[in-house]
Amino acid sequence: MAQPPAAKPRTGLRLMHVHAHPDDESSKGAASTAKYVAEGVDVHVATCTGGERGSVLNAKMDRPEVWENITEIRREEMHRARDILGIRQDWLGFVDSGWPEGDPKPPLPEGCFALVPLEEATERLVRLIRDFRPHVLTTYDERGGYPHPDHVRCHEVSVAAYHAAGDPERFPDAGEPWQPLKLYYHHGWSWAKTNALHEAMLAHDLESPYTERLATWEREPEWDDRITTRVPCGDFFGVRDQALLAHATQIDPDGMWFAIPREIQQKVWPTEDYELVHSQVESTLPEDDLFAGIPTPAP
């Protein structure tokens, strides 16, 4: 008689990532996402904007018909990446602010995400949090990971929603209160990680894509020291790469994202790194698990 499939060990736990644009969920934390999905965690991505003003960064996709349909194409790319990662995903419905260029920089477009009142954007995210009821919420640091106005706004909205979601006096019409137990910032590229991968490439007589970047890097050891949690997920780098490639307008398969062989990445830096910012439970630092201190709910 066939045996029923074994229950995944972490079924009942829920994780929400809040990202600014489609493709961010695949370039930031995607391997740890895939690891948790494989373990039974229910993972939800909230995408703040549609990425409508994003550049086409893959030369093979830089075509008139792509630009004419960029909103629909980026939505389709997100749906493919979502299926590859095995996640749920919702759009907050705001409009991409674009990357302002020039000196001085021009004003942001009217009605864009970065200019939406904080309370309005926070309420939309609170509704999702109260509906999905995540145990853990992740987002960007106060610099946005990099200073795109949507990334900075995503940070502000995520932190505000984390604190408001459990407060019955805040947004009383946005669902039953739910307090996530932990809030993390994603830390993608520390100096230590970048330098370790650079040195490994040179040791294998390969050209490093980080030579110029490291030469001008102004180190901030206190910033890198903020990392508290390193999630081992090297076995899922392949899933991450497939999710990245789903965003064909944004990711050049011949570009820097894939310049370092996966085997080197898995050996040299097999984790994705986070900063525990706020916790309602006790856990010992450093951690190797976003759910440290949170018991798996009984089936």
Instruction: Please write the tens of the pLDDT for every residue from 26-68.
Output: 999 999 999 999 999 999 999 999 999 888 888 888 888 888 8
3-state secondary structure of 230: strand
Q: What is the pLDDT of residue 7?
A: 64
Q: What is the pLDDT of residue 69?
A: 87
pLDDT of residue 124 exceeding 80:
yes
Q: What is the pLDDT of residue 170?
A: 98
Closest by CA to 20, choosing from 163, 116, 131, 136, is: 116
Q: Order of strands across the sheet with 271-279?
A: 88-94, 42-49, 14-19, 136-139, 182-187, 271-279, 229-232
Closest by CA to 20, choosing from 98, 72, 80, is: 98
d(CA 236, CA 230): 14
pLDDT mean across residues, the chain? 94
Report the range of poorest mean pLDDT among 32-36, 49-53, 157-161, 173-177. Answer: 49-53
Q: What is the pLDDT of residue 4?
A: 52
Q: What is the pLDDT of residue 177?
A: 98
Q: What is the pLDDT of residue 56?
A: 83
The answer to whether the beta carbons of residues 113 and 48 sit under 8 Å apart is yes
The total of other beta-carbon atoms located within 10 Å of residue 256's CB is 11
Q: What is the pLDDT of residue 264?
A: 98
Q: What's the mean pLDDT in 223-236?
A: 97
Q: What is the pLDDT of residue 114?
A: 97
Report the range of poorest mean pLDDT among 13-17, 152-156, 219-223. Answer: 219-223
Instruction: Return the HEC string of 162-211.
Output: HHHCCCCCCCCCCCCCCCCCEEEEEECCCHHHHHHHHHHHHHCCCCCCCH
Q: What is the pLDDT of residue 5?
A: 56
191 conformational bin, left if phi > 0, alpha if psi -120 to 50, beta if neither: alpha
Strands (E), the chain: 14-19, 42-49, 88-94, 136-139, 182-187, 229-232, 271-279
d(CA 97, CA 66): 19
d(CA 127, CA 107): 30
Give pLDDT tens digits for 267-299.
999 999 999 999 999 999 999 999 999 998 877
151 is in an annotated binding site: yes
Q: How many helices (H) and strands (E) does the chain have?
A: 11, 7
Q: What's the mean pLDDT in 229-236?
A: 98
Q: What is the pLDDT of residue 61?
A: 85
- 25-35 as b/e: b if 16+ CB within 10 A: bbbbbbbbbbb
